[in-house]
Amino acid sequence: MAGRPSAAAPPVGLCLGGLDPSAGAGLLRDVMTLAALGVQPMAVCTADTVQNGEACAAIRPPGDPLPCLEALAPHLAPPQRWGVKLGLCCLDEGNLAALAARVASLSPAARIWDPILAPTSGVGLHSAAGLRSMASVLLAMGGWVVCPNLPEAAALAGTGPGAGPADLARPLLDLGATAVWIKGGHGLGPEVEDFWITRSEILSLGRNPRLPGERRGTGCTLASAWLAWRLLGRTGPEAALAAARFLRERWDPPVRPGGFGRPCFAPGAP
């Protein structure tokens, strides 16, 4: 039938997030990651940022994202396999609820939310209470994997930073999350350990040596790589392991466009 994808068509990764004009993070980083892994990227802006490789100076609400999503809906019709990643979001509760409901109605094969309290450098966006309010709206729709780092997980759970994985994940699971992938990169010590948590299990994803230095866009890269691997047939925990491996393989050499700002990941295929 004309207009329908062939059996060889790649899956589609729909990215909802903030536009970082420098491409170190945000939607442009998501797009580069998905494309490197063989997934067709699409994107709708849910936050507009004024930033470069040094810091974020401002975060502003975008225009209404629903018309953009409606324009993309024909690309997401069966038998097309597709999934969605949500990152930085500057929508009010009403617009977020409408967007999440429309996404759910289009039946994505995978959904992942990378909750963001603030960029690493520069202005913030959400308070802990604001992030919890966002979680209550989004997760009520069902089907979402949540992938916070340790500070974000503590803010969402309303706990201290020393809480264990089960205590950090439980509030999100109670709100309706399918799984919680707690990323350990912000922990202490020479090793990093991630956890994949559902209502029935707490799974360590293994320990790896902490990589030296920093890279912009690690959260975006991990979440969008997870989406790609999930759409390519991996289970949730398998996709998390593959995403972490992808990030480690891309860690060096870093790039600093124009020799300015903090280092980010190089473009191109792994």
- Using a cut of 0.75, tell me whether the model's pTM lies above it: yes
Residue 264 lies in a domain: no
What domain count does the chain have?
1
The yes-or-no verdict on residue 233 having pLDDT over 60 is yes
The yes-or-no verdict on residue 8 having pLDDT over 90 is no
Residue 176 lies in a domain: yes
Residue 55 lies in a domain: yes
Q: Which domain holds residue 34?
A: 12-259
Nearest of 16, 174, 41, 40 to residue 99 by alpha carbon:
16
Residue 266 lies in a domain: no
Nearest of 199, 201, 203, 205 to residue 222 by alpha carbon:
205
Band (pLDDT 50/70/90 cuts) for residue 222 is very high
Say if CB 157 and CB 167 are below 8 A apart.
yes
Residue 2 lies in a domain: no
The yes-or-no verdict on residue 270 having pLDDT over 60 is no
Residue 1 lies in a domain: no
Alpha carbon distance 204, 28 (integer Å): 30
Alpha carbon distance 249, 106 (integer Å): 34
The yes-or-no verdict on residue 75 having pLDDT over 80 is yes
Q: Look up the CATH number of the domain holding residue 40.
A: 3.40.1190.20
